[in-house]
């Protein structure tokens, strides 16, 4: 009986450390699409991966603005911590566009809604409202222009790097 | 005994309505919002329209007084109005409010370079916010008065009058972060929902908005009245200040930017043209509250103000 108990303790002693790592390491998720993971703390260093909305990572080390994380493929890298969240986001991306992982036909509806009026012009409700309130064509055009202004990831990243803001703030540490 | 009968009757009615009315309603909330959804909503609405008869008929059969049935019906409406307004509905409301913003504040300020710059600063803040996947739009209004506001769905406006009062990019980031915070905290949506409960409006679905332009128009009137004239609750403004400071810090800007602008505004009180004085709490109190949060962001004191970059942009305006 004692032998059996000892054996059990040895087995538990061997298994717990193996299981405890992944279980107790802090899990976080990508808050948005196209989150860059870099080899070094600096956001300009070589990329080791890209996270998409809802992708899960294990936090290895925490600095003020950067977290070292372990990816699903076992690679380790650094991420701007404000692009991660401890709460699993509702929509899980399958890669590419953040909208691609949303369920069913909602994808198309959400894409159109998020793109504002840029796909089909102003929405039906807005057109009706503009007519009812006699809003000028110029003001309608201004809303369309406002919705059609697109800033690419590269342009935003360059802007932030030049100003030392966003993930580049504090030397990207 | 009679009371027990009424309670039992009401309970049975709730069961029946729950299986038909609520099921359809919650399905609407959970299912993909698509054309299929619109057709489901149509069915759901038809079911809801059938409910009064069903309720009244069964209520009569079970001996429940009409007054109690009416109360129950009102309760169903209130429960439905308590449901959060969906993102697509929010964007529809925001787009219509955007029309009013251009219409009432001198139209669009025509300067593509400055508009792009404001968008770059705004998106830098928005991408570290708590709703980074919403597509935020930033525009400049051709008005000399100092004003900035956020419509639901991420439509954010700043006047050229306010832009010309700012000293640096960190102040601009602070102002925009305050507006982004109103969107992430869904302040306006919460206000609309409360108004809807009082007015017993229960349906904020896309199909309801399409089918009832008058209701939609009334909601937009309510939002614009709050945004442009009355202002939101003081507590919501204080919350937007605190959350905005946090977002500016996350975005890597000197977190004191909003406080610094408010100090300028305070120094101009009495002669500056700004609706902030009537639509927002006292500038002095806002500054005081922000200053209590700033010590939490000590390391942010090393973050840039970007005065030169801002001045280069604004001098072209």
Chain B CA closest to residue A85: B130
What DSSP designation does B296 have? G
Strand partners, B108: B141
- The domain boundary, picked from B46, B63, B83, lies at B83
Lowest mean pLDDT among A12-16, B59-63, B193-197, B267-271: B59-63
In a domain, B219, yes or no: no
Residues B105 and B165 placed together within one structural domain of the fold: yes
Q: What 3-state class would DSSP assign to B305? A: coil
CA distances from B204 to A41, A75, B173 (A): 46, 46, 33
CA angle, B94 then B96 then B97, to 5°: 65
Identify the burial level of A165 via C-beta atoms within 10 angstroms of its C-beta, where 0-12 means exposed, 13-18 middle and 19 or more buried.
Answer: buried
* pLDDT band for position A15 (cuts 50, 70, 90): low
Contact between B33 and A106 using a beta-carbon 8 Å cutoff = yes
Predicted confidence at residue A13, as pLDDT, reads 57
pLDDT 10s digits, A142-161? 999 999 999 999 999 999 99
Residues B7 and B123 placed together within one structural domain of the fold: no
In a domain, B204, yes or no: no
The structural domains of chain A, ordered by start, are: 25-114 (2.30.30.40), 115-162 (no CATH)
Is the pLDDT assigned to residue A96 strictly greater than 60? no
* Total domains, chain B: 2
Residues B23 and B153 placed together within one structural domain of the fold: no
Q: What 3-state class would DSSP assign to B61? A: helix
Predicted confidence at residue B270, as pLDDT, reads 75
Residues B274 and B306 placed together within one structural domain of the fold: yes
Is the pLDDT assigned to residue B80 strictly greater than 80? no
Residues B94 and B70 placed together within one structural domain of the fold: no
d(CA A13, CA B103): 71
In a domain, B286, yes or no: yes
Residues B181 and B119 placed together within one structural domain of the fold: yes
State the nearest Cα–Cα gap between A160 and chain B, in angstroms.
7
State the nearest Cα–Cα gap between B41 and chain A, in angstroms.
14
Instruction: Tell me the average pLDDT across B39-67.
Output: 42
Is the pLDDT assigned to residue B32 strictly greater than 80? no
Contact between A142 and B115 using a beta-carbon 8 Å cutoff = no
- The domain boundary, picked from B83, B116, B134, lies at B83
In a domain, B262, yes or no: yes
The pTM of the whole model exceeds 0.95: no
Q: Does A100 touch chain B (CB under 8 A)?
A: no
* pLDDT band for position A92 (cuts 50, 70, 90): low
Residues B126 and B67 placed together within one structural domain of the fold: no
Is the pLDDT assigned to residue B164 strictly greater than 70? yes
* pLDDT band for position B70 (cuts 50, 70, 90): low
Identify the burial level of A157 via C-beta atoms within 10 angstroms of its C-beta, where 0-12 means exposed, 13-18 middle and 19 or more buried.
Answer: middle
In a domain, B209, yes or no: no
Residues B144 and B293 placed together within one structural domain of the fold: yes
* pLDDT band for position A105 (cuts 50, 70, 90): very low
| Structural domain boundaries enclosing B13 | 2-83
Residues B259 and B282 placed together within one structural domain of the fold: yes
Residues B92 and B79 placed together within one structural domain of the fold: no
């Amino acid at each position: 009986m004692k032998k059996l108990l000892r054996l059990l303790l040895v087995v538990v002693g061997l298994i717990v450390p193996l299981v405890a790592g992944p279980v107790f390491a802090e899990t976080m998720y990508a808050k948005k699409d196209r989150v860059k993971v870099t080899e070094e703390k600096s956001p300009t260093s070589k990329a080791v991966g890209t996270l998409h909305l809802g992708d899960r990572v294990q936090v290895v080390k925490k600095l003020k603005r950067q977290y070292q994380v372990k990816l699903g493929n076992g690679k380790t890298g650094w991420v701007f911590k404000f692009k991660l969240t401890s709460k699993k986001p509702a929509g899980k991306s399958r890669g590419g566009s953040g909208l691609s992982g949303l369920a069913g036909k909602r994808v198309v509806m959400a894409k159109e809604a998020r793109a504002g009026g840029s796909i089909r012009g102003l929405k039906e409700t807005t057109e009706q409202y503009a007519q009812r309130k006699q809003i000028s064509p110029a003001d309608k055009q201004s809303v369309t222009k406002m919705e059609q202004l697109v800033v690419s990831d590269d342009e935003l990243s360059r802007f932030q790097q030049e100003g030392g803001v966003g993930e580049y703030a504090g030397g990207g540490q | 005994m009679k009371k027990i009968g009424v309670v039992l009757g009401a309970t049975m009615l709730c069961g029946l309505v729950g299986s038909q009315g609520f099921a359809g309603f919650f399905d609407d909330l959970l299912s993909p919002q698509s054309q299929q959804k619109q057709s489901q909503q149509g069915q759901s609405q038809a079911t809801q329209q059938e409910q009064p008869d069903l309720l009244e008929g069964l209520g009569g059969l079970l001996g429940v007084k009409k007054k109690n049935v009416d109360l129950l019906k009102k309760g169903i409406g209130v429960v439905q109005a308590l449901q959060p307004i969906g993102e697509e509905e929010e964007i529809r409301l925001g787009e219509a409010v955007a029309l009013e913003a251009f219409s009432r504040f001198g139209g669009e300020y025509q300067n593509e370079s400055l508009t792009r710059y404001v968008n770059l600063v705004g998106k830098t803040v928005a991408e570290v916010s708590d709703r980074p996947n919403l597509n935020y739009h930033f525009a400049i209004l051709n008005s000399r008065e100092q004003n900035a506001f956020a419509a639901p769905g991420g439509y954010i406006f700043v006047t050229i009058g306010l832009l010309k009062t700012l000293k640096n990019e960190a102040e601009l980031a602070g102002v925009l972060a305050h507006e982004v915070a109103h969107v992430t905290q869904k302040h306006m949506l919460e206000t609309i929902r409360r108004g809807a409960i009082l007015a017993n409006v229960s349906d904020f679905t896309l199909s309801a908005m399409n089918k009832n332009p008058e209701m939609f128009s009334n909601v937009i009137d309510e939002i614009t009245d709050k945004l442009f004239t009355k202002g939101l609750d003081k507590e919501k403004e204080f919350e937007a200040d605190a959350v905005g400071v946090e977002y500016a810090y996350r975005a890597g800007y000197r977190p004191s930017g909003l406080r610094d602008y408010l100090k300028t505004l305070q120094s101009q009180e009495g002669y500056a043209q700004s609706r902030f004085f009537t639509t927002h709490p006292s500038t002095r109190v806002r500054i005081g509250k922000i200053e209590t949060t700033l010590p939490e962001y000590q390391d942010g004191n090393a973050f840039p103000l970007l005065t030169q970059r801002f001045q280069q942009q604004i001098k072209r305006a």
